[in-house]
Amino acid sequence: MSTDRPDHPYDGNFLHEALQYVAAKTNNAKCPFCGNTNWTYENEGGVLVPVPKVAYVPMSNRAFFGPAPAIPVITLTCTECGFVRHHNLPMVKTRIDGSNG
């Protein structure tokens, strides 16, 4: 796995693949609050295709010297009401790796 991004270990190829995997699994998923089926994501561009930014869900509210325990995620936002959903990147990677092996 490339470490071309200093703030997380996921390279652009994986993030693009993860977004495609989540999109295929949740195709036409309705927002639980407004029923909209259109979702968007924060992206950081990319050489060939836009890739989603990585966000972190903290697992503790304690102060840490250094990185606090957190779940790396990509987020999808409902284009109507702004509801944000998270997809756990280590879990998505496990599924993608499993389907490739």
- Contacts with Zn ion by CB under 5 A lie at 31, 33-34, 36, 78, 80-81, 83
In terms of CB distance, is 33 or 64 closer to Zn ion? 33
Taking the complex as a whole, how short is the minimal distance between the CB of residue 38 and Zn ion, in angstroms? 9
Taking the complex as a whole, how short is the minimal distance between the CB of residue 79 and Zn ion, in angstroms? 8
Taking the complex as a whole, how short is the minimal distance between the CB of residue 29 and Zn ion, in angstroms? 11
Q: Give the residue among 46, 78, 71, 69 at the shortest CA–CA distance from 57.
A: 71
Per the CB < 8 A criterion, the answer to whether 77 and 68 are in contact is no
In terms of CB distance, is 10 or 41 closer to Zn ion? 41
In terms of CB distance, is 31 or 92 closer to Zn ion? 31
In terms of CB distance, is 13 or 36 closer to Zn ion? 36
Structure tokens at 2: 């490339």
Which residues 6+ apart lie within 8 Å of 24 measured at CB?
none
Taking the complex as a whole, how short is the minimal distance between the CB of residue 99 and Zn ion, in angstroms? 29
- The whole-angstrom separation of Cα 46 and Cα 11 is 10
> Tokens 């968007």 identify what position?
40
